[in-house]
Amino acid sequence: MKKYFYFLLIIFLCGVIQVSLLDAFRVIGIKPDLCLIMTLIAAFNFRPKWAFGFGVFAGLMKDIFSSGGFGMNVAVFSLLVFLVVELNRRLPLDYGLIQLAVAFIVSILSNILSATAAAASGKTVSAGISAGMILLASVYTALIFLPVSRILKPVVSLS
């Protein structure tokens, strides 16, 4: 039970870090999505019900701390947890490089859904710039995913 509490606390801290300390690590105005990374770690390491709950909480943290439409990240992260859990049931996703590839693909999906929601709300950005930012943000998030998941391995392995 301790690991669930610790993981919730870590998700909350990642939400705070996302909007504060992580600004120092921006590359061309882009930073990795720690809440998405925590959602992926939950999907890879916890039972589906817990993973779904952690995904909802991470989406809620991102919605609270960001300026986008409220509830969008909760819906997106819930969908992504479902997809990763189902993929994990069908294929063994235990290896770091496979998880890295899944993190990259899931990050692209998340960023495309966020860009689509932004466009639907009336924000205009050229397609080339938007595609470049989606790709760069996805690469950045995927590259940060592996070290973060290794650092948190002791927490998710608690009994």
CATH code (residue 112): 1.10.1760
Residue type, 147: P
DSSP state of 27: B
Give CA separation, 8 vs 50, 56, 64, in Å: 11, 11, 15
Cα angle 138, 103, 108; round to 5: 35
Query: In terms of DSSP H, where are the helices of the chain?
Result: 2-19, 34-45, 48-65, 72-90, 96-120, 127-151, 153-156
Tokens found for residue 81? 């947890």
pLDDT computed for residue 39 by the predictor: 92
pLDDT computed for residue 50 by the predictor: 93
**Per-residue pLDDT in tens (0 to 9) along the chain, 159 residues:** 788 899 989 999 988 888 888 778 788 878 888 888 999 999 988 899 999 999 999 989 888 877 666 778 888 888 889 988 888 888 877 777 888 888 888 888 888 887 777 777 777 666 666 777 888 888 888 888 889 988 888 887 765
pLDDT computed for residue 100 by the predictor: 86
Task: Assess contact for 100 and 145: CB atoms under 8 A.
Answer: yes
* Structural domains of the chain, count: 1
Task: Assess contact for 66 and 25: CB atoms under 8 A.
Answer: no
Residue 114 structural domain: 2-156
